[in-house]
Homo-oligomer: A and B are copies of this chain.
Amino acid sequence: MGEKIPHWLDKQVELNPNKEALRLPHRRTLTFKELQIKSRAVGAGMKQKGIDKGTTIALLLDNQEEMPVWIHAVSYVGAIAVLLNNRLTAEEIAYQLNDADVSYVFTNDRLIDVASEATSSIPIWNVDDFQPSSRESVSLVEDLDLDEVFTMMYTSGTTGHPKAVMHTYGNHYYSAISSALNLGLQSDDQWLLCLPMFHVGGFSMIMKGVIYGVTVEILEKFHAETVLEAIFNRGITHVSVVTVMLQRLIEQLGNQTYPDHFRCMLLGGGPVPEKVLKQSYERNIPVFQTYGMTETSSQIATLSPEFAFQKLGSAGKALSPASLIVDADQGEVGEILVRGPMVSKGYYNRPVPDQDYFRTGDLGYQDEDGFLYVVDRVKDVIISGGENIYPAEIESVLTSYPGVREAGVTGRKDEQWGEAPVAFLVVDDPTSFRKEDVLRFCEEKLAKYKWPKDIHTITSLPRNASNKILRRKLFEALEEERL
């Protein structure tokens, strides 16, 4: 049994009952009190249907009002929520339902068909048809035990079967606290949520809202115009995005600058091109580059804007109270290892490794001031003639070439070198694109062993739901396009 804290939503209702907790799609809003009433009623309804402490349920939902309500309901019951990616196929869903020992599925009109296809044995409820209960007699959780498992999210897993990352209440709590210790906290903070809530990046904002007692505005999907409108007209102070979203926000903005009340553009999902940082700076957008993953309950390292140029490409330092080391000599590239109370204790139904630090599977190095530079995924490294080649480095050169919008690099078998890099580009104008020019550009910028052996154009790169390039699927994606 771990440290116990009062249920965080009850606590906010005690402190700020009438404060706006959520602004939802279709112009709905919920105060903390209203959110509590709904969540408790759904929780009581769950209990009446046999869902109890320790029961595992799955949520297959969109970014909709029911998502935060059901999340809190689960905590009132003491159940465990599996957050299903709503872009999965029926087969993938079936795998996760089975792997996580799910007893009930909650879904919506749009997704009920895929859910039904995924399972015929597990009961499925449409949240629209679910009867909450207002019975006072149903006893609900009053204290959250920080050591208890609250959620499971499947790693987007670029290879092999996805694994369910278990998050305790404490993981989510400390993640929110570590972010507040880093970014500061003001009572008029307002976060905009435009990432999927089934992912840790979006989910963590639901947690921040209730732990900080601040307003969170939820968008169904990322939409640049709506994001800007929320920032300019509705007092949004914090937004969390990935690079491609930031680029679209900059395009949409034109020559305007961000208002001064806007305090933080939290940027995840890999290093950001210098051009984007410059454009952000010119537009008064304070960009905080981060590093994190499902296993760390969202960001675990952050670079503040004052270092954006001085430490270009860095993800900063591990938040307090987290630790981060690189498994290599000082300044050398090695696997990134992390530790702290926001780091998951392990995967569901897999042996818990006996180790102090979690091995992230990412490669990086720290400079002499301790700033982290993420180099690449361990699994994506191309080994060519005994040299390590990091696809991200080549991609970064490629995207700096005019007209190249996105780039993905992976290895192919090579008789002479073992493996050799091949590039896949999304370009502005395929008709005028000349791959010889790009190869020549690479020859100027990169050591010979890193030169792409071939370049393909492609209309879009395969990405997972976190928007990370699935490099191992680049060849497959090209084949599919050519069919």
The residues of A with any CB-CB pair to B shorter than 8 Å are 2-6, 8, 11-12, 14-15, 146, 170, 177, 180-181, 184-187, 211-213, 317-318, 320-323, 340-341, 370
Contact = CB atoms under 8 A, between A and B. Distances in A.
A320 B6 contact: yes
B3 A146 contact: yes
Contact of A184 (B8, B185, B340): B185
A391 to B, nearest CB: 30
A180 B6 CA distance: 17
A341 B181 contact: no
Nearest to A341: B3
Contacts of A340: 5-6
Contacts of A5: 320-321, 340-341
A317 B14 contact: yes
10 smallest CB-CB distances across A and B, nearest first, come from: A5-B321, A11-B320, A185-B185, A184-B186, A6-B323, A3-B341, A184-B185, A6-B321, A177-B177, A15-B317
B185 A187 contact: no
A8 B213 contact: no
A11 B185 contact: no
A186 B188 CA distance: 13
Contact of A187 (B2, B170, B184): B184
Secondary structure class of chain A's binding surface, majority of residues: mixed
25 contacts: A2-B2, A2-B3, A3-B146, A3-B341, A4-B341, A5-B320, A5-B340, A6-B321, A6-B323, A8-B320, A8-B321, A11-B320, A14-B318, A14-B370, A180-B180, A180-B181, A180-B185, A181-B212, A181-B213, A184-B185, A184-B186, A184-B187, A185-B185, A211-B320, A213-B320
A188 to B, nearest CB: 9
A1 B263 CA distance: 38
Contacts of A187: 184
A15 B320 contact: yes
Contact of A12 (B320, B322, B341): B320
A202 to B, nearest CB: 22
A340 B26 CA distance: 38
Given A3-B341, A6-B323, A185-B185, 19 more contacts: A2-B2, A3-B3, A3-B146, A3-B170, A8-B321, A11-B320, A11-B321, A14-B317, A14-B318, A14-B370, A15-B320, A177-B177, A180-B181, A180-B185, A181-B185, A181-B213, A184-B185, A184-B186, A211-B320
A326 to B, nearest CB: 14
Contacts of A180: 180-181, 185
Contacts of A8: 320-321
Best-surrounded residue of A15, A146, A187 (most CB of chain B within 10 A):
A15
A59 to B, nearest CB: 25
A308 B412 CA distance: 70
Contacts of A370: 14
